[in-house]
Amino acid sequence: MWTHEESITTTASPARVWQLFTDVHGWKNWNAGIDYIQLNGPFAVGTTFSMQPPGQEGFVSTLTQVTALSGFTDETVIDGTKVIVDHRITPLSDNLTRITYSTTITGPQADEFGPMVTGDFAEVLAALKNLAERG
């Protein structure tokens, strides 16, 4: 098993962060690790999305948990290795919000996938924060 957690604090409201989370096509605006992304239905439990990182094979993920204004979890299974990423929004005060990405990877390639999946999370969160704070 491989686990990783990364967080950032922003002055953006939980509603603003949620708006950016649910605009799946817009993820490319704050995640340089996405060349292509397509949501295959509503932003709800059971819906899949197809994603392709730059220069890599595409994959399909499933939304396994969605709670408005609080966050969502997605699951991807590639060759028997399961990648679960939990994206949380936590209000800290009237003008501070924490955004947290928690990752759990299990399966035969967990140690290989871990750094590849989470290696850019600090940059992704910083870009998400910047976009969210611009309104």
Number of domains in the chain: 1
pLDDT in tens, 62-77: 999 999 999 999 999 9
pLDDT value, residue 135 = 73
Residue ranges making up the domain that contains 119: 2-134
DSSP state of 18: H
pLDDT in tens, 20-79: 999 999 999 999 999 999 999 999 999 999 999 999 899 999 999 999 999 999 999 999
DSSP state of 15: H
Instruction: Identify whether the C-beta of residue 87 lies closer than 8 Å to the C-beta of residue 21.
Output: yes
Q: Could you write out the DSSP letters of every residue in 24-37?
A: GGGGGGT-TT-SEE
For residues 116 and 6, give the distance between their C-alpha atoms in angstroms, rounded to a whole number: 14
- 55: domain CATH number is 3.30.530.20
Please state the pTM of the whole predicted model: 0.95
